[in-house]
Amino acid sequence: MTIAEAATPARPHRRNTRFWVHLSIGVVLAAIGLVVTVNLAGGIGDAVEALRDLDARWLLVAVGCETVSYVLLSWQLRYLAGHQADLSPEAAMRLGLVVYGLGLITPASPAEGMVLASAELRRRGLNRRRAVLALGFSEWFSTGALYLLAAVNVLFAAALGDIPRAERAPLIVVAAVIIATLAALAALLRRRSVVERGAVLIGALRPARSRKSVDERRAIGARWYAEARSLIGNRRHQTVAVSLALAAWIADALCLFFALRAAGASVDADVLLLAYTAGVIAAEVPLLPAGLGLVETAMPAVLRSFGVPYSTALAGSLAYRALGTFLPALAGALVLPSLRVVRRHPNDETSTDEWDPAPPAQG
């Protein structure tokens, strides 16, 4: 089963055309970004020379940090899936490589990785809605942890005086808004009434002929809320999930740190995290697979503003991308066939569509 087959689109020709258009635009933008980046580094010759000077010993340490990052992500995924899933640590690691490695470089990232992961979790014993919730919470906690890390680091860097005075106040305001927004969202999503209203609004998007009544949509929201509470309802579970996500981001940032050491640069922790979070957030830009071209521009630009030579910053950033993005993607592609073996089917009694406020697929 391919990624496209797993999604089973209703209009394949239209979807395929859209896919190739998005991919073409992404490739063009990535190429432009890479050309600009190489020119800023002094040309392709200087960039290649900087890459040749990388210290392999530090690169091995960087690989170790990236491995730890994926181990932590797989632990989080296994923790959220719960005991209902027949998911061993090894299987969770393979699934993590597909979701967070291979899934990151696809044009529809992270949707395609999520489709494959959801199908695998269902084959391993979870019903559809619980698989969706486990993956959704994994993305939510990981994204929230990233933005929290970025915001707290901005405040820390501002306190140390590492951020230029002209940029300090706006960045502090942005960081404070991010922290307040995360706290507000966390508080709102704990309330059943908010989830019920969300289900009512989402259900209203269905065609009129198949739209459920307001009471039915509200009941669907209540059931989703109950399932979510059973999955990650208490603060201990939430703390564990957030801590694993935060630790995974830090391990990934250490991969960048040691890649920079391999290139001959050493930076303070706050500067490292400023460059790292700028690059990771840039990777989320649509149309660009894994932010290709944009990340390689953002990271060296931030590092250069703190005194790191551009060619050195570029060499370290490219090494990090090879080890932190493309190596896990390759590993995900290699383990992908092992996820296609059907082990056991989910409980049919709990896989009814009554939980789903979205419209059914049209044949």
pLDDT greater at residue 25 or residue 313: 313
To the nearest 10°, the Cα dihedral for 39, 40, 44, 49?
170
Token pair of 96, please? 């993590």
Q: Is pLDDT above 70 for 8? A: no
Is residue 37 predicted with pLDDT exceeding 70?
Answer: no
Measured between alpha carbons, how far is 352 from 236 in angstroms, rounded to an integer?
Answer: 30
Q: Read off the pLDDT band of 242 (50, 70, 90).
A: very high
Closest CA to 240 of 79, 64, 110, 109: 79
- Is residue 14 in a domain? no
Give the lowest-confidence range in 29-33, 52-56, 164-168, 261-265: 29-33
- Whether residue 110 is preceded by a cis peptide bond, meaning omega within 30 degrees of 0, is yes
pLDDT for 156-192, tens place per residue? 999 998 898 888 999 999 999 999 999 998 888 888 8
User: Average pLDDT, stretch 14-29?
Assistant: 56
Is the pLDDT at 342 greater than 50? The verdict is: no
- Give me the domain span that covers residue 142: 20-38+45-348
Q: Which residue has the tokens 């490219």?
A: 318
pLDDT at 74: 92
Residue for token pair 């929201």: 221
5 within some domain:
no
Check whether 41 has a pLDDT greater than 70.
no
CA distance 65 to 280: 16
Please give the pLDDT value at position 359.
Answer: 40
Question: Phi/psi at 41 (nearest 5 deg)?
Answer: -80, -5
Domain count, the chain: 1
The rounded distance, in Å, linking the Cα atoms of 224 and 221 is 5
Residue 65 neighbours by CB distance under 10 Å = 20
Percentage of residues in the chain having pLDDT higher than 90: 32
Q: What percent of the chain has pLDDT over 70?
A: 78
pLDDT of residue 147: 94
Structural domain contains residue 294: yes
Quick check: is 257 in a domain?
yes
Query: Which pLDDT value is given to residue 295?
Result: 87
Asked whether residue 282 is domain-assigned, the answer is: yes
pLDDT band at 144 (very low <50, low <70, confident <90, very high): very high
Residue 354 lies in a domain: no
Mapped to the 3 state alphabet, what secondary structure does the chain carry? CCHHHHHCCCCHHHHHHHHHHHHHHHHHHHHHHHHHHHHHCCCHHHHHHHHHCCCHHHHHHHHHHHHHHHHHHHHHHHHHHCCCCCCCHHHHHHHHHHHHHHHHHCCCCCHHHHHHHHHHHHHCCCCHHHHHHHHHHHHHHHHHHHHHHHHHHHHHHHHHCCCCHHHHHHHHHHHHHHHHHHHHHHHHCCCHHHHHHHHHHHHCCCCHHHCCCHHHHHHHHHHHHHHHHHHHCCHHHHHHHHHHHHHHHHHHHHHHHHHHHHHCCCCCHHHHHHHHHHHHHHCCCCCCHHHCCCHHHHHHHHHHHCCCCHHHHHHHHHHHHHHHHHHHHHHHHHHHHHHHCCCCCCCHHHCCHHHCCCCCCCC
- pLDDT at residue 16 is higher than 50: yes
**pLDDT (mean) for 208-223:** 80
pLDDT band for 42, please (50, 70, 90 cuts): low
Give the model's confidence band at 348: pLDDT under 50 very low, under 70 low, under 90 confident, else very high. very low
276 CB contacts (<8 Å, ≥6 apart)? 252, 253, 256, 299
Mean pLDDT across 81-92: 84
In this prediction the pTM is 0.78
What's the pLDDT score for residue 245?
A: 95
**Predicted confidence (pLDDT) per residue in 271-329, tens digit:** 999 999 999 988 887 667 777 778 888 899 899 999 998 888 989 999 999 999 999 99
Confidence (pLDDT) at 360: 38
Cβ atoms of 174 and 196 closer than 8 Å:
no
Which pLDDT score, from 0 to 100, does residue 99 have?
Answer: 84
Judged against a pLDDT cut of 90, whether residue 208 lies above it is answered with: no
pLDDT at 250: 96
In single-letter form, the type of residue at position 196 comes to E
> Among all chains, which residue has been given the structure tokens 């992404």?
26
Task: Give pLDDT, residue 47.
Answer: 61
In-domain check, residue 284 = yes
Q: What does the pLDDT read at residue 362?
A: 40
Distance CA 197, CA 82 (A): 27
Q: What is the mean pLDDT of the chain?
A: 80
264 located within any domain: yes
End-to-end Cα spacing for the chain = 19
State mean pLDDT over 71-82. 90
